[in-house]
Amino acid sequence: MKRTLLIALLLFCGATLFAQSITINDLANISNLSNAEAHNYLTLGKKFKRQYLQDVNGNSIEHLNRIGPDNKEETIVIGVNSKLSSGAILRTVTYTTSTPQHIINLIGQAKHMGLIMKLHGSDIKNDIYLFDNDFFHIVIFLNHDNISGSVEVHQKEYLGFD
């Protein structure tokens, strides 16, 4: 009985040791939030810390990072947006990690979420995956050398008819 409990405990600890801190659903949801709401969500709920702020063309772009228990870095960039003539703001969230397995997990999550894979291709440096639905355009880059990867979630303009 003690042996079974010990094995179960070790498996649980091992699984949480290398767990990624963010999901594809989190990234999509963050793109719907204002900068302040996204900052609070990431710092309070996901344990990211502000790395620095950058002012680009009047937009305040925030870089947040987290170093996991395996000393691998994850970075999220929020605040990149474009304003439409209607006044609506379309946001872009970028996630970068030095753990390629996190990117592979995010690709699996995107497929499981029902997002349509529009393209699976590659360039000189990365494998590229494009996923799409009515609300988001998601571009996933996985480095050929399995060094790093990134995910860009772009909000799309939704034309709803009443």
CATH number, position 124: 3.30.1460
Range of the domain at 126: 22-155
Query: Is 83 inside a domain boundary?
Result: yes
98 is written with which tokens? 């030095």
**Is 119 within 8 Å of 129 (Cβ atoms)?**
yes
Residues near 111 by Cβ (< 8 Å), separated by ≥ 6?
A: 117
pLDDT for residue 54 is more than 70? yes
69 is a domain residue:
yes
User: How high is the mean pLDDT of the chain?
Assistant: 84
Compare 50 and 18 and report the one with higher pLDDT.
50
**For residue 26, what are the CA distances in angstroms to 20, 41, 59, 123, 151?**
12, 10, 22, 27, 12
Our CA angle for 51, 67, 60, nearest 5°, is 20
Contact 74, 93 (CB under 8 A): no
- 64-77 pLDDT, tens per residue? 998 777 667 899 99
Would residue 71 count as lying in a domain?
Answer: yes
Q: Do the domain assignments include residue 84?
A: yes
User: First-to-last CA distance in the chain?
Assistant: 62
Average of pLDDT values for 7-31? Answer: 69
Query: Do the domain assignments include residue 41?
Result: yes
Note the pTM of the prediction, 2 decimals.
0.82
Please count the structural domains in the chain: 1
Domain presence at residue 40: yes
Residue 7 lies in a domain: no
Residue 14 lies in a domain: no
